[in-house]
Structure 1
């Protein structure tokens, strides 16, 4: 059975691979959407239960941990609230992958044409191409990311009546730049993330390959990838929190579920302000659920991809 599954991964045309990948991405995003909403709600919470003075007079909810936030959202807003912002998020997932792949491919081809003595090592080429691909994809899909965050930040009171209405309202009241609030934090996180991931992965892979400890994911490459991803995400997470705080700035800032979101301007000043007022915990709110969603996302993606590809291949045989 396992041999058949392995074989499926290498079959299918380029078009079928794209379709299967798109289906897998959409389903995976739908499954992890509740974890994403929980993460965003925690990131936007500027007060803490550990500091009684910070919650004095707060009208919005006070969340405690992943499970507590889940229960509060379901109790106060219903189960559907866990999928707020899922439509722009699904569109972002589809567009991000295609833009990233295209930009990576073009950057990689350009770097490979550089002649000696100016040619970079292969490792540097991969890192630079990956950073360029990530930066291009982040910029191109950023308006969808911002809309996802704003809808997820809505409580029982609807700030925007629909996706179309939100686009019209942001364009009218905030102008084109309103769709790119916090973009600097998003792009700034790409380069260190790629560098840390690549460095950690390459350093861990030979160590784990020679280890006598059984690998939980089957291969040392998979384990090295998981560990490298956790390390890189943790390191750049404050920039993710900064991005979320900046994305909900604007005229609707006090109408979201957290009514006390401060006015932030600029990436560096936001980072410093969160550090001074909320400490290290403020910068890392929602990190556990962010790391938690990585495993089910990967598992669902591969499970759906294999079955979507199998269905297309089976349909192809029937039509022939």
Structure 2
């Protein structure tokens, strides 16, 4: 077997396509796994969001000081502001996202196959299209949840309004802006998250193939299935590479979107005004406010999510022997 065939075999033994999954088990077990991940990693999002909306004269100028102030004023509970809203809303959004991701990715792989591209390029295109389509489909649910949770995350901070839970945020937003107020920043969310998702999944798909190529370069004739530990290592490496690429690409737009979503109705600026204010206060570096926490957040979320996701797919794979009987 040549090296290309060895690489294809190594990766093929780790890839589980959409048509090989028990969908009911996939959705039910997945809801539990991703809720647990959200619980573990949610504080990072709170710190990142507060950094992005802090004013020029705010004392908390880095992630550590924001974390320290939150714990001092609100205790551990402060790190989970808006958590209930996020968990409730992201379950249907996650179902939409994963369904669109897998179905689009499978279709894209078949469409690109005749082009005879290199394996990493083939994977990058198919995964990138899948990630972009998944994000576009899920934004209708994600954006209102994002807006409500972010307002809860920053309430009482740096002059921001306080609320009595997620439903109070929804009521006040609808009262001042109507239903469309819940979709404030929708355009920027599409511009931010769709390319981000495309870049993340494209980077993940391509980097996995590259890592497998490097690992298999000295083992062209080894036809043994890769060990569980080796599979996890490759997937984690792909997740970190994807997070580094996506965080650098999307942080400026994410900062603008976050500021637009958390500012109260009577002070509402346009996206252009947010950009002008950021440049006036901090120069172009202001667009990368919270880059460190965002990279850490995307690395932690992305790597944990992809390892959990790949484990979920292995757990929910249909036994071909049983299906034939």
TM-score by length of 2: 0.70
Cα distance in 1 between the residues matched to 2:163 and 2:80: 15
State yes or no: 1:148 paired with 2:171: no
State yes or no: 1:291 paired with 2:292: no
The structure carrying a bigger helix percent of its residues is 2
Query: Does the CA-based 8 Å contact 1:95-1:141 persist in structure 2?
Result: no
Cα distance in 2 between the residues matched to 1:301 and 1:155: 34
* 1:141 counterpart SS class: helix
* 2:163 counterpart SS class: coil
In structure 2, relative to structure 1, the CA distance for the partners of 1:113 and 1:196 (3 Å cut) is: closer
Q: Which residue of 2 aligns with 1:265?
A: 270
In structure 2, relative to structure 1, the CA distance for the partners of 1:194 and 1:142 (3 Å cut) is: closer
In structure 2, relative to structure 1, the CA distance for the partners of 1:92 and 1:288 (3 Å cut) is: farther
Cα distance in 2 between the residues matched to 1:205 and 1:299: 16
Q: Which residue of 2 aligns with 1:94?
A: 91
Deviation at 1:175, TM superposition (A): 1.0
In structure 2, relative to structure 1, the CA distance for the partners of 1:240 and 1:27 (3 Å cut) is: same
Query: Does the CA-based 8 Å contact 2:251-2:294 persist in structure 1?
Result: no
In structure 2, relative to structure 1, the CA distance for the partners of 1:128 and 1:271 (3 Å cut) is: farther
Query: Does the CA-based 8 Å contact 1:107-1:129 persist in structure 2?
Result: yes
Give the alignment of 1:138-287 within 5 angstroms. 138-155=139-156, 159-201=162-204, 204-211=207-214, 219-251=233-265, 263-266=268-271, 268-287=272-291
- Give CA deviations for 1:197-249 in whole Å, capped at 9, x if unaligned: 35544554454334479x99854453133112211122111111111101013
Query: Does the CA-based 8 Å contact 2:255-2:287 persist in structure 1?
Result: yes
Structure 2 stretches lacking a partner, 5+ long: 1-13, 218-228, 316-325
Q: Which residue of 2 aligns with 1:41?
A: 50
In structure 2, relative to structure 1, the CA distance for the partners of 1:269 and 1:109 (3 Å cut) is: farther
Give the alignment of 1:45-60 within 5 angstroms. 45-47=54-56, 55=57
Structure 1 stretches lacking a partner, 5+ long: 1-6, 48-54, 56-60, 254-262, 311-320
Query: Does the CA-based 8 Å contact 1:181-1:249 persist in structure 2?
Result: no
State yes or no: 1:77 paired with 2:74: yes
Query: Does the CA-based 8 Å contact 1:134-1:190 persist in structure 2?
Result: yes
* 2:135 counterpart SS class: helix
Q: Which residue of 2 aligns with 1:316?
A: none
Cα distance in 2 between the residues matched to 1:87 and 1:205: 34
In structure 2, relative to structure 1, the CA distance for the partners of 1:109 and 1:182 (3 Å cut) is: same
* 2:131 counterpart SS class: helix
Length, aligned pairs only:
279
Cα distance in 2 between the residues matched to 1:101 and 1:198: 12
Aligned-pair Cα RMSD in Å: 4.1
In structure 2, relative to structure 1, the CA distance for the partners of 1:216 and 1:227 (3 Å cut) is: farther
TM-score by length of 1: 0.71
